[in-house]
C-alpha cells in the first residue's frame, strides 16, 4: 500500500512531458464519449504562446505520476465554439 506522505506535488518539467502525455492518454483511453485525443491537448498547450509552465502541476507517488493539473491563460473552445 502506498503511503500518502510520499506524495509529491510539483511543477511539471520538460523531462516529464512524455510521461504526463502517456498518463493522460491512459486515463481517457476507454472513454467512449471522447475522441481519445486528450493527451494532445497538453502537448498543444505547451506549444502555445500562452503557455505558463507554473500552471502545469503533477503529482507523483513513489516516482510514478499519479495526477496532472494543467491550466493556461486563454479560454479553450471546442470545434463548435463551446467554451471548455
**Residue 49 vs residue 31, higher pLDDT:** 49
Spatial distance between the Cα atoms of 63 and 82, rounded to a whole number of angstroms: 37
Compute the mean pLDDT over every residue in the chain, rounded to the nearest whole number: 80
Tell me the whole-structure pTM to 2 decimals: 0.68
Q: Is 62 exposed, middle or buried (0-12, 13-18, 19+ CB in 10 A)?
A: exposed
| pLDDT tens-digit readout, 36-77 | 667 677 778 788 877 888 888 999 998 889 988 887 776 767
β-strand partners of 65: 60
Cα–Cα distance, 3 to 29 (Å, whole number): 27
Give the mean model confidence (pLDDT) for residues 75-81: 70
pLDDT tens digits, residue range 5-26?
889 999 999 999 889 888 888 8
Amino acid at each position: 500500500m502506498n503511503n500518502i506522505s510520499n506524495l509529491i506535488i510539483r511543477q511539471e518539467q520538460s523531462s516529464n512531458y512524455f510521461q504526463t502525455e502517456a498518463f493522460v492518454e491512459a486515463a481517457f483511453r476507454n472513454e467512449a464519449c471522447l475522441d481519445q485525443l486528450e493527451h494532445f491537448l497538453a502537448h498543444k498547450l505547451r506549444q502555445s504562446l500562452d503557455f505558463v509552465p507554473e500552471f502545469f502541476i503533477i503529482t507523483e507517488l513513489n516516482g510514478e505520476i499519479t495526477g496532472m493539473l494543467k491550466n493556461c491563460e486563454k479560454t479553450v473552445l471546442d470545434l463548435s465554439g463551446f467554451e471548455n
